[in-house]
Structure 1
Amino acid sequence: MSASPEPTSPISEKIVESSLGNRYSDKDEDNSVETIISSADGDEALKLVGKERTTQFTEEYNRRLRRKLDFVIPPLCAAVYFTQFLDKTSMNYASIMGLPVIGQNYNLVSMAFYLGFLFWEFPTVYISQKTRIAKYLGVNIVVWGTILMLHAVASSFGAFFVLRFLLGMCESCVAPILVIIISMFYKKDEQATRISWYIVMNGLTQIFGGFVAYGVSFDDGRHLAPYKIIFVLLGGLAIVVGIAVLIWMPDSPVLAQFLTTEERIAALERVRDDQGGTENKTLKMDQVKETLTDVRTWLIVLTTILTNIPNGALTSFSNIIIKGFGYSSRQTLVLSTPGGAVASAMVLFCGWYSDKKNERMTPIVIAIIPTIIGAAIMIGLNHSGNKGGLLFAIYLINTFGSSGSAVYSWNASNTAGHTKKSTLNALTMFTFAVGNIIGTEIFQPKDAPDYIPGKIAIMTLMTVQLFVCFLLRYINIRMNKKKAKLLEEEKARRGWTDEDVQKEREKHAFFGFDG
C-alpha cells in the first residue's frame, strides 16, 4: 500500500463515496453524495463494527450467512406482501360476489383505500424511523387484519368507505419498511432478486385469491354472505402474519436475534461497501434536502405515477372486465388466475435480470412493453367475440406490475443513508397512492362493459413511461462517467491506490450515514 493518504477534504470524501455507483451499477445507476457527520450521529452499526474493517470473513462464511438470512427475511417479507395484496384486492373479488356497493360508489370505495394510503404515508415513514421498524410493521398488520374482518359487518357505502380508508392507512407502511429491511441485510447486487421474491406475491395472490373466492362462491350464504366470508378469511390470515412478523422479523442486523454476535458483524461487513447505513433514529434534514433537489427523484416519482394508474384501475376492475367478456361470476374467478402466473413470472425474471446486469430501468421497459401490446389487443378486439384473444390480452397486461419491483430495488440500491432512503421511499409510496387514486376513476360506469377510454389511457401512459425510463437511464450513465473521472483525478492528485480508496469507503460506510 502507498503512504497513508493525507487527511481528506469534504470534496474528496464526496468523490470517494460517490464512486460506489460505478463499482456496483456502471450500467444505469448511481449513488448520491452523502454528508460526513460526527460519530455521535453515526449508525448503530458503527458501535458494533467501528469505522474501519477489522474482521475479514471468507466467501464461504458469507455464503452460509446469506443462506441463513434467506431462510428468515425474504419469506417473512413475502408473507407480508402476500397478505397485503390479498387484503387490498379483496374488493375485486367481492365486487362480483354480491357486494352491496356498486356503480360510482364502488369507484369511490376503491379510491378510499388509496386516500388513506396517501394521507398516512409520510407520517408512517416518520414514525417507523423513530420506532422498532419490524415491530411497527407487525402491529400495523394485526390492526389491518382486524379492520378487514370488520368489512363483514359493514353494509353501507359510508361504512365501507371509512374501513377502506383505515385499511389504506395501515398498509401504507409496508413497501417502505420492506425496502429498508432488504437494503440493511443484502448487498446491492442481491437486493433486486430478494425484492422480486416478495413482489412476486402480487401475482401469486391472484391465483390463490381467485381459487379461494371460487370455492367460497358455492356457499349458500345462509350464515354469512360469500363476500363477507372473503373478508373474514383474509383478515384472519393477516393477523396470523402480523404475529409472525412481531416474533421473527429483525429490526436491523444489529438487533437480529437469530444471528450470533459474529454473524451480526459479518452481516454488517457484507453491506459495508454499499454505504447504505442501517438503523438510526435521527432524521437528517440535509439528506431530505438532497433527495428533493435530485432530478432523478422526480423522475422516479413520475415513473411511479405512470405505472400505478393502471394498477389502481386493474386491481379493482380486472374481474369486472373479464366478466364483461361474457363469463359468469364463477368462471371469472377462475379465469382471472392465469394473469397472476404471468405477473409472477415477469417479476422473477426482472429481479434476476436486474441483479445479473446491474440495471434497474431496463427491466421496467421489458415489463411494460407487453402491457402496451395487451391494451392494444383489447381495444382492437372489442366486440369481436374473440374471448380467447381478450383473455390473452388481459393476462399480458399484468406484466406491468414488475415495474414496481424495479423501482423499489432502484431505491434500495441507489440511495445511501437511511433518511434519504426513507424520504425517497415515502415519495415513491405517496405517488403510488396518487397514481392508484387516479386509476380508480379511469374505468367509469358509463363506459361499461367495454371501458375503451380506460384501456386507451393504459396504453398511452405505458408508452410515455418508456421515454421516462430511457431518460433516467441516460442521466445515470452520464453521472457515473462524470464521477468516475472525478475519482481518477482525485486519486492522481493524492497518489492514492484503489486500496486507499477502498479504505476510505469502508471508513465512512456506517459513519456518515443516518442508518
Structure 2
Amino acid sequence: MKEDNIEKGSIGIKDEKDHQVGTIADLDEGEAFLHEHGFTQVAMQVLLDDEKRNKSLVRRVDLVLLPLLAGTYVLQYIDKSALAYSAVFDLFTSTHMSSNQYSWLASIFYLAYLVAEYPWNILAQKTKLAKVVSGNVVAWGAMLMITAACTSFTGMAICRFLLGIFEAPITPCFMMIVGMWYTRDQQPFRAGIFYSCNGLGAVIGGVLTFGIDDIISATRFKLEDKALLISRNRLGRTGVMNHKIKWYQIREALVDPQVWILFFYTLFNEIINGGIASFGKLIIKGLTNDPLMTCALGIPMGAFQIFWILSGTFFASRVRNSRTIVMFIYLAPTVIGTCLMWKLPHNTNKVGVLFGYYIVGAYVCPLVLSLQMPATNLGGYTKRSTGVALVFLAYCAGNIIGPHAFLAKEAPIYQTGCKVIVACASAQAVLAICLRLLLVRRNKKRDATAAADQDGARVQSEYEEMADLTDFENPRFRYVL
C-alpha cells in the first residue's frame, strides 16, 4: 500500500470516533487535566518560557523517576545473567539438561513474554501503569526464587514460562512512562539510562516500582508542575494518556510502514541478542576450562554495553534527528566483533577473540532506540501503545529464534550463529536507512502542505492540541529521524 493512500485512508477510519471538539471524554487525559484546571494557552506558554523552572522540574523528575526505573532494571536482569553463568558451572549436570534443552529455556521465556505482553499492555492502559508493573515485578521475584529449587528441565521450563509472563509488561511500560514524562529530545538518553542498568533481582524492585505513576495522579508535583510537564509533552504532539481503547487507531498502527520497519529491525536485533545472551559465556568458556575465570573474563562485556548504550542514546538526545544514524552506525562494532570471534583462531589469538566478544554488544544501543521510537513517533495513545506492543512482539520472537542458531556441535566457535548475527546486523542497517528515508519524506510532505494551507492549519490547531489524534490525523505532527 502506498504511503499517500495510507494517510488518506486514515480520514475514513476517523469516522468511528467521536469527533466533537467539546467532548472532554475524547481528549487526551493531559489535555482534559489542563481544561479542568483552567490553564489557558497563554498560561502554558508562560510556563514553557520559564527556562529556570523547566530545568528545575526536569531535575526533579530525574531524581524521582530514573532511580525507580533504573533500580528495577538492575534488580531484574540478574535472571538472564544468572542462567548464562549457571550454564558455565553445573546447570547441565544438576538438571540433567542437554544443550538443545538449554536453548529452549530462552525460547520458552520469550514465548511466554510474547503471549502476555499485549494483554498486559491493554490492562496498563485501562487501569494504572504502576499497579501492573509493581504487581508483576513482585510475582516475577517470587518465581525467580522458586527457580533455585528446580532439579529438572521440566521444572526449569515451567519457571521460565511463568517468569516470561510476569516480566512481559516491564520494558514496554517503562518506554511508555519515559514517553509521558520527557520531551522527545530527552527520551532516548533517559531510556538508555534505565536500559543500561540490567542487573540484580525483582522483589525490592516491586516495592520501588509501586511509586511510579502517570503525571496526572503523581502526588509529588504541584498543579503548576503537572501543567508544565503536560505542556512540555504537547511539544511532541504524541499525547500523555487516554484510557479509552480506540480500535481505528489499532488498525492504523497495523497499516503504518514505520511500525513494520521497526518490527523487523527489532526482530533481527533480538535474534542476535537471543544467541549472544545464551551462548556468549560458553564462547568464553571455550578459551579457558576454568568456570571462575570464565565469569571474570565476562565482566568487561557489561561495562562495554553500558558505554555503547549511554554514548549512543546521549548522542541521539543531544543531536537532533540523529536516532536512525545511531541505529545504523552502532551495528558496525557488532559485525566487526562477530567476525573476530568467528575468524580468529581461538587457540592462538585469545585476546582478539575476547575483544570481539566485548564489542559485539553494541547492538543493544540501537535496540533501545528502536524500542523507544513508537512512543516518540506515533501519535494517539492507542496507536502508540499498539506500536510499542508490536515492536515488543518482535523482541520476543527474536529471542525465541536466536538461541537455535547456535548449534552444540559447533562449540565453542558456533559458526552458524556468527553467520546469522552478521546477516541480521546487515539487514538492520538496511532497515535503518529505509526508516530514515520514510520519515524524511513524510516530514517534507507535511511541511509543503502546511506552507500551502497556513490559514486552515491555524483553525485546526486548537483541536489538534487537545484531541487524542494519531500522527496520520494531525498535520502538525513531525517525525523524529
Scaled by the length of structure 1, the TM-score of the pair is 0.82
Contact kept? 1:36, 1:513, Cα under 8 Å: no
Q: Distance in 2 between matches of 1:432 and 1:386?
A: 34
Deviation track 1:406-451 (CA, whole Å, cap 9, x = no partner) reads 1123222111121111101100111101011110111121221221
Contact kept? 1:274, 1:509, Cα under 8 Å: no
Q: What secondary structure, in the 3-state scheme, does the structure 2 residue paired with 1:259 have?
A: coil
Contact kept? 2:381, 2:468, Cα under 8 Å: no
Partner residue of 1:355 out of 305, 314, 317 = 317
Q: What secondary structure, in the 3-state scheme, does the structure 2 residue paired with 1:509 have?
A: helix
Gaps of 5+ in 1: 1-13, 16-33, 206-233
Partner residue of 1:70 out of 62, 66, 69 = 62
- Is 1:42–2:5 an aligned residue pair? no
Equivalent residue for 1:53? Answer: 41
Deviation of the 1:384 alpha carbon:
4.5
Q: Percent identity?
A: 30
Q: Distance in 2 between matches of 1:269 and 1:36?
A: 24
Closer, same or farther: CA 54–88 of 1 in aligned 2, 3 Å: farther
Partner residue of 2:380 out of 402, 417, 426 = 417
Equivalent residue for 2:465? Answer: 509
Contact kept? 1:53, 1:507, Cα under 8 Å: no
Deviates more, 1:331-340 or 1:270-279: 270-279
Give the number of aligned pairs.
Answer: 444
Deviation of the 1:149 alpha carbon:
0.3
Contact kept? 1:113, 1:164, Cα under 8 Å: yes
Scaled by the length of structure 2, the TM-score of the pair is 0.88
Superposed counterparts of 1:350-429, under 5 Å: 350-358=312-320, 359-429=322-392
- The one of the two structures with greater contact order (alpha-carbon pairs below 8 A, sep at least 6) is 1
- Is 1:261–2:243 an aligned residue pair? no
4+ residue runs of structure 1 moved beyond 4 angstroms? 504-507
- Is 1:80–2:66 an aligned residue pair? no
Equivalent residue for 2:13? Answer: none
Deviation of the 1:104 alpha carbon:
1.1
Deviation track 1:195-237 (CA, whole Å, cap 9, x = no partner) reads 11111114xx4xxxxxxxxxxxxxxxxxxxxxxxxxxxx5xx4
Deviation of the 1:161 alpha carbon:
0.3
Deviation of the 1:303 alpha carbon:
0.1
Q: What secondary structure, in the 3-state scheme, does the structure 1 residue paired with 2:243 have?
A: coil
Contact kept? 2:285, 2:291, Cα under 8 Å: yes
Partner residue of 2:268 out of 306, 314, 317 = 306
- Is 1:325–2:321 an aligned residue pair? no
Closer, same or farther: CA 403–292 of 1 in aligned 2, 3 Å: same
Deviation of the 1:80 alpha carbon:
2.0
Gaps of 5+ in 2: 1-6, 9-15, 471-481
Partner residue of 1:295 out of 252, 257, 273 = 257
Closer, same or farther: CA 408–110 of 1 in aligned 2, 3 Å: closer
Contact kept? 2:114, 2:397, Cα under 8 Å: yes
RMSD of the TM alignment (CA)? 2.2
Equivalent residue for 1:477? Answer: 440
Q: Distance in 2 between matches of 1:62 and 1:308?
A: 37
Q: Distance in 1 between matches of 2:441 and 2:18?
A: 25
Closer, same or farther: CA 388–176 of 1 in aligned 2, 3 Å: same
Q: Distance in 2 between matches of 1:509 and 1:35?
A: 17
Deviates more, 1:95-104 or 1:505-514: 505-514
Contact kept? 1:191, 1:412, Cα under 8 Å: no
Contact kept? 1:179, 1:408, Cα under 8 Å: yes
Deviation of the 1:62 alpha carbon:
1.1
Deviates more, 1:132-141 or 1:81-90: 81-90
Q: Give the counterpart letter for 1:37 in structure 2.
A: H
